[in-house]
Amino acid sequence: MKDLQSMDMFNTEIASGIKVVMFSADWCPDCRVIEPFLPEVEDKFSQITFLYADRDKFIDLCAELNVFGIPSFLAYHNGKEIDRFVSKDRKTQEEIETFLSEALSKC
């Protein structure tokens, strides 16, 4: 998963292809719960480029995108948001994979 470093990087990355941005934070316990299985999810959905956005570094972007709970996932295809899995609830591997499958079906 590629770490976002700036808004310019965010805009450049989502501009083309299929990208999923995961909003998270070091202090988030529900975010830590999903970390062990994220590499498996990334391998399973290799046609997607996964990006990590630290919620604390990108708080303005979170507000702009109405991302108020973490972990949250936003899917983009060629710069356009196509789906989102945004809530404050803990997410399971199955829920994340279902979200990713549904997002891919919209491309």
Any catalytic annotation for residue 28?
Answer: yes
Q: What is the DSSP letter of 36?
A: G
Closest CA to 41 of 102, 105, 92: 92
Burial call 4-20: b when 16+ CB within 10 Å, e when fewer = beeeeebeebbeeebbb
User: Catalytic residue among 1, 9, 25, 28, which?
Assistant: 28
User: Catalytic residue among 18, 20, 22, 31, which?
Assistant: 31
Angle (CA) 40-42-48 rounded to 5° is 160
Any catalytic annotation for residue 62?
Answer: no
Angle (CA) 90-60-39 rounded to 5° is 40
Query: Which residue numbers are catalytic?
Result: 28, 31
